[in-house]
Amino acid sequence: MSFVRGGKSQLVKKRTRNSYHKIVQCVNCGLQQLFPLPTLKEDAIYYDINPHDRETTPEFSVEDIYSKFEFQNQSRIRYLENFGIEKHWKILDYGCGYGFFIEMMEREGYCLDGIEISKDKLVVCKARLGETAKRIKAINLLNEELPEYMENRYDLITMFHLLEHITQPIELLKKVKKMLNEKGHLVIEVPNVANKMMEASEAYNDFFYIRDHVAYYTPDILKKLLLELGFRIVVCCGNQVYGLTNHMNWIINGKPELKKPSYESCASMRWIEKIYKETMNCNMWAEYMYVIACKEK
């Protein structure tokens, strides 16, 4: 897997929904990416002002953002517990954002560290987490060395919707691998560019591509990346968070539900939605996907 930096590519989109960057696809590996790629300095400035959340949550209410991500974080806790995580594990949430996932996990009895580089999100994170905030580090491993005390430390590292923001995924994942202990596991969740809504709704397709995401992964590309770095794939599954009502809204109205996304249909429709989500997940057609990988070869 490689980013196009002047090599052969084909145009996918003339622009994203919130910038004049193009989306191109590598003709060799199939990876779709933002073009031209931002520099690390440009990305640092961009994420410090946090434009995406200010766009999708116009009043920029932290509680509104928490509510929008609560269902998604609950789904993550479910699939991690189904996988078999244990309360005594040392866990790192890499790219912890506002700390919502850490907050919810701690209510379940887990203890987590975090890494976050966005100044805007760190302010909220530290205000919400109290004493736990002392375990949140503002370290950027793309341009900083891995601290020695973090090597071979963690039983589990989660990276939820982080890798798609990274212009140097191989370099970052090599350092992340060093942070795992001998039996450690890595969880990566990203948007799935192979999801079925890309075909079902032109409006959704246009909305999907944004300046924030520099890479757009398919299940095969993500698995190949991890295998090449010496991980063993334990689980690869879709994570269809948004409900059938949300998808019908895209198809009928051609616009997103920004303020209150529909994660579940009404009670009488839940049986249909259960089948729908299971089908999307099993066939890797879901909007999101996750991989759980083991450090062991």
Q: Is the pLDDT of residue 33 over 70?
A: yes
**185, burial (CB in 10 Å: exposed 0-12, middle 13-18, buried 19+):** buried
Predicted pLDDT of residue 44: 83
pTM of the model: 0.94
Q: Quick one: tokens of 272?
A: 């249909």
- Residues 238/283, Cβ–Cβ less than 8 Å: yes
Average pLDDT over residues 205-211: 97
Q: Give 106 or 44, the one with higher predicted confidence.
A: 106
CA distances from 161 to 38, 95, 129, 143, 245 (A): 18, 8, 21, 20, 23
Confidence of residue 67 (pLDDT cuts 50, 70, 90): confident
Q: Is the pLDDT of residue 35 over 70?
A: yes
- Neighbouring-strand partners of residue 290: 189, 237
Q: Quick one: tokens of 246?
A: 């949300």
Nearest CA to 53 out of 173, 194, 212 is that of 212
Predicted pLDDT of residue 48: 77
Give 36-40 contacts, CB < 8 A, sequence gap 24+.
37/3, 37/5, 37/167, 37/214, 38/167, 38/214, 40/140, 40/142, 40/143, 40/167
